[in-house]
Amino acid sequence: MSQQASELNTNLKSRHITMLSIGGVIGAGLFVGSGSAVALAGPAALVAYAISGLLVVLIMRMLGEMAAASPDSGSFSTYADRAIGKWAGFTIGWLYWWFWVLVIPLEANVAATILHNWFGTVPVWTFSLLITLALTGSNLLNVKNYGEFEFWFALTKVIAILAFIVLGTLALTGVLPKAEHAGISLMWSQGGFMPHGIGAVLAAVLITMFSFMGTEIVTIAAAETDSPAEHVVRSTRSVIGRITVFYLGSIFMVVTLVPWNSHGLTTIGSYQSVLESLHIPYAKPIMDGIILLAVCSCLNSALYTASRMLYSLSKRGDAPAAARKINKVKTPYMAVMLSTIAAFLTVVANYYAPKSVFDFLIASTGAIALLVYLVIAVSQLRMRTQLRNAQMPIRMWGYPGITLAVIVFIVAMLACMLFMPDQRPQVLSTLILAAVVVGSSFWVHRKRREARVPVSQMAASRR
């Protein structure tokens, strides 16, 4: 285990990591956002999810190889630092931190809006503040509090998805006679399996790809267990089953129970559309409750992940020294606080900065997932030689051919985004932000080198 990982607590238990690895791939995007992918690609959204899922499986295999051999709370940022260069670790670490910092207020607002609909006398901002402060407080305590919260959040999401699949199966087999449109024939009776062509499927891949962001969190959390390599190996090997059941299983039920061109898919979400078509009573409050738990889970993980990445950056000298401070229970409390403060500043920017500024901030996260995946692939390609003499409990398949193919695919997807009007602002904003961070990394590292040069030597060099 790395030195910085050992400085943190190791109170995350096996059941915490197991449920975190399961729940890490399940966000509110599956319950609601998947409807947009189905509306765009039709039943062929299944293909889009399969492509995205395959990419994530391969990326997790690469990351698992590195994380099992060298567990670290900085995960892929640390590996990029070692395999590509300090500028790469600095850049992807800060971009990843920024992604999760922006997730915090966005998810808090979604949760607060649901609660406001239930308790109309309390304003949205009050709920948003209370939720953020509550989960910040839990993250400041022993890491097992994060694990415990996430265990129950993830368990609820898993139960909800399995119940959804069971209901769908009952409808498809005729046990639920009230199903309006149930049938495998829905996959081709409404204009064909691929009604808008292969281009729409590729566009849906871009939508679905970002719904998997968070799968990699387990490699960060594993560093705070007593047997990180074991947990990384187990989680990496089970990712195929998780994606198959939760994503492909769910989307199959959607496209066989609701017409892909149903208006409700984009307005109320895929899960609620299916429940209403099956005449399940109280479909909306049921889904509101599930989505509330899902976004709280995402917010909880966002705080945890952002703080651990900032802590790792600080340990490497790439972030303010204050962020490396830990409290009596070995929690990086300053990194948690700084991440929460940064999230609140984005909320202030939403109210007081020009709309174009906040729009850029939001758009700047659009392609970060692809950049993270690209860095993981390049790091694994180059780090294999460094790990040659290390114990490697798990290895990437087909090295280096499959790794190179993944790199080419990700670069091609980024290029495609540049030619798609809806995606172009996101990838350009992300690339602009990335360029600024790369420039900052060279400036920071140059200052660090100068600080290490003795004053007398500097004076002599001037003469």
Model confidence, pTM? 0.88
The single residue listed with the structure tokens 């640390």 is: 78
Instruction: Name the residue type at position 165.
Output: I
Query: Which pLDDT does position 369 carry in this prediction?
Result: 87
The ranges assigned to domains in the chain are 26-445
Query: Which pLDDT does position 408 carry in this prediction?
Result: 96
Query: Which pLDDT does position 181 carry in this prediction?
Result: 67
- The Cα–Cα gap between 78 and 391 comes to 18
Query: Which pLDDT does position 263 carry in this prediction?
Result: 86
Query: Which pLDDT does position 459 carry in this prediction?
Result: 46
Q: Is the peptide bond before 400 cis (omega within 30 degrees of 0)?
A: yes
Regions in the chain scoring below 50 on pLDDT: 1-5, 455-456, 458-460, 462-463
Pick the CATH number of 26-445 from 3.40.50.300, 1.10.3080.10, 3.40.190.150, 1.20.1740.10: 1.20.1740.10
Here the tokens at position 158 are 């898993």
DSSP secondary structure code for residue 263 in this structure: T
Query: Which pLDDT does position 239 carry in this prediction?
Result: 82
Query: Which pLDDT does position 309 carry in this prediction?
Result: 92
